[in-house]
Amino acid sequence: MVKPVLKRTLKSGEKVYTLRVANGRLKNGNTKYSKRDVRVPLGLSNTKIIKFLEEENYKFENEIKNNQTTNKSIFLKQYAENWLYIKKQSGLAPSTYTDYSNTVNRLIGEFGQYKLVEITDLMVVRFYEKLRQKGANKNNSNKGLSEKTLKNIHDVFCSILDCAVDDEIIIKNPLHKKNFPTPKPEKKEIVFLDENDLKYLAQDLGKEKLKYQCMVRIALDTGLRIGEINALEWKDINFKTGKTKITKTIQRIPKIGMVEKPPKTKNSIREVYIGQDVLELLKMHQVEQNELKSVMGDLWQYKIELKDEKGNSFIKDNDKIFTQENGLPINPCTCHHWLKKFTSKHNLKDYTPHSFRHTFATLSLEEKQPINAISKTLGHSNISTTSNIYIKTTDKSKETLSNVMTNKMSDIFNN
């Protein structure tokens, strides 16, 4: 008998053990094992727990021998919750865990009452169709869910069912059938600002609050993500050289709070350079912030509480560049909301803070800057990421290429 392993302790105090029983051989000759989780009743002594597990293991062995395993009785609700628990223990980022949790709750709402073996591809197709219908989108009652959101739901569902196959609860994942209509999000065209857009932006940006002027100019000058900009602290910037350290990003996650964590990838921990005119804007903003501190007095938050990537709270000295009126870190959504109002007010192209990052990359390429330098400044994990996103898009670059090749061919064929 393989010794049972304690898997977890429930809120009720009950302990869940995993049984493993030999069930044939793998292709490489190693022993193949089947697994089953069993819940030990409360109030049993250690001796009785051992006896209970031995009896359960004996039953499991007999079922394996007789090919009568009872895993077929497992409901999606139970299994999906276990899947989510294991994912959480693997160290997911809070935002990812929140997304997974919301998706699992949605799946339970639709399929929770079904056993895993009862779920068919047709049931899932109809579920996706229902989510596409008007009213399924909680943020906009006139719309259904987007194909991108459906794809995210589909990926989680696939992962759950793949694990169920590994645990020998189902034989095949019904979502892997050749004809299954997997949601396919349309690739959105990259929105960036051309030189005319930038001229119109420059005409009106100077009338806005200094903190918004600084955010926009930093994004355009460096290609930083808005979360990286909002996480900046005064000590990150060398005002003599403009060298700026990017070591963190900040985001607000529902039910968790303001999360400050390392950037998206290891390559995203980097140094960028902020130009002199933007540094001057930042100095003006710093003076304004110090004046606000004096006005706010004790209401200014000199210490701030944040969450780390695992959702744990920590307190640090407040050195944030971009804050609310009382010194608390600014919500990353604030810039989105401000920009939407700003573009609408001045009849500008509809763009987002991320469009400034696209603008930096696109115009850098048009200016024939080395792609490896652009990639490192953007914090991409490798150059191919930069190439796949940006080397294809602008009319100007396509026109330049066309002119070069036309002139070259004319020289060849007309001489």
User: DSSP letter string over 195-240?
Assistant: HHHHHHHHHHHTTS-HHHHHHHHHHHHH---HHHHHH-BGGGB-TT
Contact 10, 38 (CB under 8 A): no
d(CA 107, CA 198): 45
Q: What is the pLDDT of residues 238-268, one digit of tens each?
A: 999 999 999 999 998 887 889 999 987 788 8
Q: What is the pLDDT of residues 13-42, one digit of tens each?
A: 888 999 988 877 776 778 878 888 888 988
Q: CA dist 179 to 111, 120, 184, 280, Å?
A: 22, 13, 14, 59
| CA 157 to the chain's CA centroid | 17
Q: Any alpha helices (H) in 259-392, and if so which ranges?
A: 276-296, 332-345, 353-366, 371-378, 383-390
Could you give the count of Cα atoms lying within 13 Å of 338 in the half-sphere of its Cβ? Answer: 17
For residues 145, 148, 150, 156, the Cα torsion angle rounded to the nearest 10 degrees is: -140
Query: In what side-by-side order are the strands of the sheet with 5-9?
Result: 5-9, 15-25, 31-40
Phi, psi of 377 (to 5 degrees): -65, -40
Residue type, 394: T
Taking 50 as the threshold, does the pLDDT of residue 70 lie above it? no
Contact 282, 321 (CB under 8 A): yes
- Among the residue ranges 120-129, 308-317, 335-344, the one predicted with the least confidence is 308-317
Of residues 72 and 106, more confidence is placed in 106
pTM: 0.69
* H or E element in which residue 325 lies: none
- Among the residue ranges 64-78, 116-130, 319-333, 345-359, the one predicted with the least confidence is 64-78
Contact 108, 80 (CB under 8 A): yes
Task: Tokens for 189, please give them.
Answer: 């065209």
d(CA 393, CA 187): 13
Instruction: Collapse the DSSP code of 168 into the 3-class scheme (helix H, G, I; strand E, B; otherwise coil) and give the result.
Output: coil
d(CA 146, CA 140): 11
